[in-house]
């Protein structure tokens, strides 16, 4: 298929583009490079630099590329930032997403795979999290992703657009060539690995008084290559709906730090900081629906194995991509 991948120069997008190319698809990446990197794009994929805020530009891209499907990664995705600057999240995640849907309708493109998030569930009453739990986003990031999911439902009903919304848990790890490089890094694993690389003296633990076994937040870390594989299978026309993508296992911040120490062989000092706004205590997926309907299952389930792939990439790219 010819697939337009928005945000294909970003962390998860770049790994998915690689997987799509391996599966024989033709890929055009649409990215404004605000978070993405040219060097993160597979050498055989085409890049169009553009912004989802530019509806006319999007119409031109669809007319020229004539994609058969869209995979939509492009978004702002930081919980903390969304609580300080909600306008950015509504503008890019909701407004930009709306433009994308309008351009799809105008061009007659009827399939979209969307990067959603477990943040749509907020602080769940029960764990693990199934797709049936109520939506109660605890931060603006999750709210904007939920808003786009709701838009998808109406565009399906009114315009016949078929969609798959993947609610990711915590994307982590790397593949040989492509890994995690945010210009301002806020994520746990890369920040902890910076200490092992000698780029930081200590890592920070945001909150030690959560109602979890060791008081630090628990997350379900899912390897990017497992996420990418789910996206490729979602291009099948028979697949639609909402799916959690996680391993079903949770690890606390302290357990992640311990795994990083084990993998790197370095002592990683940490300092306890106040809680970060909008962080739920525990988020762990029930991935049974994806297994049942898509035959999808995470291959990486041990946190050490996930951290090892991240460590391999960061050691090869100690300052990330060149751009």
Q: Which residues bind ligand UDP (CB under 6 A)?
A: 79, 170, 186-188, 191, 203-206, 217, 219, 253, 276, 279
Measured N-to-C along each axis, helices 188-196 and 303-316 cross at an angle, to the nearest 10 degrees, of: 60
User: By C-beta, is 168 or 296 nearer to ligand UDP?
Assistant: 168
User: By C-beta, is 66 or 273 nearer to ligand UDP?
Assistant: 273
Neighbouring CB atoms inside 10 A of 108's CB total 10
User: By C-beta, is 156 or 276 nearer to ligand UDP?
Assistant: 276
Question: Is the peptide bond preceding residue 128 cis, with omega within 30 degrees of 0?
Answer: yes
Q: Please give the DSSP secondary-structure letter assigned to residue 216.
A: S
CB of 66 to ligand UDP, least distance (A): 35
Six-digit token string for 102: 């309008």
User: By C-beta, is 203 or 294 nearer to ligand UDP?
Assistant: 203
Q: Which pairs count as long-range contacts for 79-86, CB under 8 Å and 24+ apart, including other chains?
A: 79/119, 79/139, 79/141, 79/142, 79/276, 79/277, 79/278, 79/279, 80/186, 80/276, 80/277, 80/278, 81/141, 81/186, 82/139, 82/140, 82/141, 82/144, 82/278, 83/139, 83/140, 83/277, 83/278, 86/140
User: By C-beta, is 102 or 204 nearer to ligand UDP?
Assistant: 204
CB of 188 to ligand UDP, least distance (A): 4
CB of 89 to ligand UDP, least distance (A): 14
Comparing C-alpha atoms, which of 231, 217, 196, 222 is closest to residue 305?
222
Q: In the bound complex, which residue of the shown chain has the CB atom lying closest to ligand UDP? A: 217
CB of 250 to ligand UDP, least distance (A): 11
141 is catalytic: yes
Q: CA 226, 309, 76, 270 torsion: positive or negative?
A: positive
Q: How far apart are CA 174 and CA 256, in angstroms?
A: 16
Q: Please give the DSSP secondary-structure letter assigned to residue 198.
A: T
Comparing C-alpha atoms, which of 91, 105, 121 is closest to residue 154?
105
CB of 260 to ligand UDP, least distance (A): 12
User: By C-beta, is 59 or 187 nearer to ligand UDP?
Assistant: 187
Asked if residues 267 and 134 have their Cβ atoms less than 8 Å apart, the reply is no
CB of 22 to ligand UDP, least distance (A): 27
Three-state DSSP state, 256: helix
In the set 141, 155, 210, 243, the catalytic residue is 141
Neighbouring CB atoms inside 10 A of 322's CB total 9
CA atoms within 13 A on the CB side of 230: 36
Q: What residues are labeled active site?
A: 141
């Amino acid at each position: 298929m010819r697939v337009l991948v928005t945000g294909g120069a970003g962390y998860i997008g770049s790994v998915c583009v690689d997987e799509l190319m391996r599966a024989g698809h033709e890929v055009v990446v649409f990215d404004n490079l605000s978070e993405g990197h040219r060097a993160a794009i597979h050498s055989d994929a085409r890049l169009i630099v553009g912004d989802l805020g530019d509806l006319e530009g999007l119409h031109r891209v669809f007319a020229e590329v004539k994609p058969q499907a869209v995979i939509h990664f492009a978004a702002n995705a930081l919980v903390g930032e969304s609580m300080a600057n909600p306008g950015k999240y509504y503008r890019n995640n909701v407004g930009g997403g709306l433009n994308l849907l309008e351009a799809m309708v105008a061009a007659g493109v009827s399939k979209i795979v969307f990067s959603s998030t477990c943040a749509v569930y907020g602080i769940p009453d029960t764990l693990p999290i199934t797709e049936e739990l109520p939506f109660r986003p605890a931060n603006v990031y999750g709210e904007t992703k939920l808003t786009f999911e709701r838009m998808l439902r109406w565009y399906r009903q009114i315009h016949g657009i078929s969609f798959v919304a993947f609610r990711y848990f915590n994307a982590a790890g790397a593949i040989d060539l492509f890994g995690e490089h945010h210009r301002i890094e806020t994520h746990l694993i890369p920040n902890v690995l910076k200490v092992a690389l000698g780029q930081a003296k200590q890592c920070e633990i945001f909150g030690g008084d959560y109602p979890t076994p060791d008081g630090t937040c628990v997350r379900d870390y899912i390897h990017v290559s497992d996420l990418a594989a789910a996206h490729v299978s979602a291009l099948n026309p028979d697949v639609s709906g909402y799916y959690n993508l996680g391993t079903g296992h949770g690890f606390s911040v302290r357990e992640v730090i311990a795994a990083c120490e084990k993998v790197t062989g370095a002592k990683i000092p940490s300092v306890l900081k106040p809680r970060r706004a909008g962080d739920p205590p525990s988020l762990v997926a029930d991935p049974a629906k994806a297994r049942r309907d898509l035959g999808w299952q995470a291959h990486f389930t041990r946190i050490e194995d996930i951290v090892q792939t991240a460590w391999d990439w960061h050691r090869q790219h100690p300052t990330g991509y060149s751009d």
